[in-house]
Amino acid sequence: MLFGILRENDHRVSVTPELAKKFISEGHEVCFEIGAGTTAYFNDSSYTAVGATEKSREDILKTANVLITLDPISKEEVELLSEGTFLFSSFEPFQDASICELYATKGISAFSFDMIPRTTIAQSMDVLSSMASIAGYKAVLKATELLPRYMPMLSTAAGTVPPSKVLILGAGVAGLQAIATAKRLGAQVEAFDTRAASKEEVQSLGAKFVEVAGANDDTNAGGYAVEQSEEYKKKQAELINQKIEKADVVITTAQLRGRPAPTLISEEAVKSMKPGSVIVDIASSTGGNCALTEDAKVVKKHDVFIVGNSNLAADISEQASVLFSKNVQNYFKLMLTKEGFNFDFSDEIILQSCIVYKGEVIYGNEAKQQALVPAPQVEETAEA
């Protein structure tokens, strides 16, 4: 099979030379677009050194059997693909399911990294978690760049400098990494999350958990936040506003799968913050957790810096590319052989991540999903 690596509108690259080398060692071919890994500090020679071949973007789109990308290619480029091409990317079908029809009409198979179940067995393949962890780390560093105050407590000849207070809203993977990073820098850290399981994790990192009683059960939410009652939201807003007013830095990470991000910070709350304080909103791409967030921008409102950035992982392009590639490698262990792909749809990871298969839309169609699952084999027993 011919694997194609494209240069994307991102500082990361989907396949590192190390993974390209592995594909080649297993009997496959790899081609790459010039400059595909340059912004991740993998130059073209590092790909040719492992046996990959340089091709034009158009040639890759027309000839590659497999394309692995960070983000989906454009509709115009889909038209260049051959029937039977395998696409692997983060398609976010829960945001716009019509993307599935686009691939189905071309007879393509598409597998979405963001549909991989967030279970223990799939952790090594979880692209979302890998990138979220980097984003949480980078969010704190972004805040320190803008904050006109120290993070740690310092005793100086001129007097003692108090530590900054950092509030993390959303204690998932990104939030937990933000907590750990802020603690390493010596800040006083508090964190809030509606998910009950987060409390122990927050406290294990040395942060104080901000708890609001009465949250809806999130046991079956797959690691995502769930919609809460209006009464809960009111109590939540009151307590969070009190914490925001005292915070030097607020980092928000709360997102609802397939829905706009919840607004956790009102304009009034921003006005209550100390001049020079910083908000880093990782949920900006889905509307943001702060009412004043502007996606992909740093703005200053009411003397508060507001960073809207859901793609912070791309700022640490080399390591992010390595982790992304490792996730892909672990995922492909389930299906890639020397002869090509062998999809065992009885594996929940493969089944759930498949959104289109051989021109058939699988996402959101339980009947077609189940049709892919092989019937259980019945062992014959000898008669007594």
β-bridge mates for residue 265, sequence order: 290
> For residues 384 and 373, what is the distance between their CA atoms, to the nearest angstrom?
33
| Exposure letters 99-133 (e unless 16+ CB within 10 A, then b) | bbebbbebebbbbbbbbbbbeeebeebbbbbbbbb
Known active-site residue 315? no
Known active-site residue 123? yes
DSSP string of 148-170, one letter each residue: SS-SS-EEETTEEEPPPEEEEE-
Catalytic option among 7, 57, 59, 224: 224
Strands of the 278-281 sheet, one edge to the other: 208-210, 188-192, 165-169, 249-252, 278-281, 304-308, 297-301
Catalytic option among 126, 193, 218, 248: 126
DSSP state of 267: H
Helix (H) or strand (E) holding 61: helix 57-63
Known active-site residue 224? yes
Single-letter amino acid, residue 139: A
> For residues 147 and 159, what is the distance between their CA atoms, to the nearest angstrom?
20
Catalytic option among 123, 203, 204, 370: 123
Instruction: Work out whether strand 165-169 and strand 159-161 pair parallel, antiparallel, or are unpaired.
Output: unpaired
Six token digits for residue 31:
């081609």
Known active-site residue 357? no
Catalytic option among 14, 89, 109, 129: 129
Known active-site residue 57? no
Catalytic option among 7, 57, 118, 257: 118
Name, in order, each residue with C-beta under 8 angstroms of 156's C-beta and a sequence gap of 6 or more: none
> For residues 3 and 20, what is the distance between their CA atoms, to the nearest angstrom?
8
What SS3 class is residue 111?
Answer: strand
> For residues 275 and 294, what is the distance between their CA atoms, to the nearest angstrom?
19
Residues designated catalytic? 118, 123, 126, 129, 224
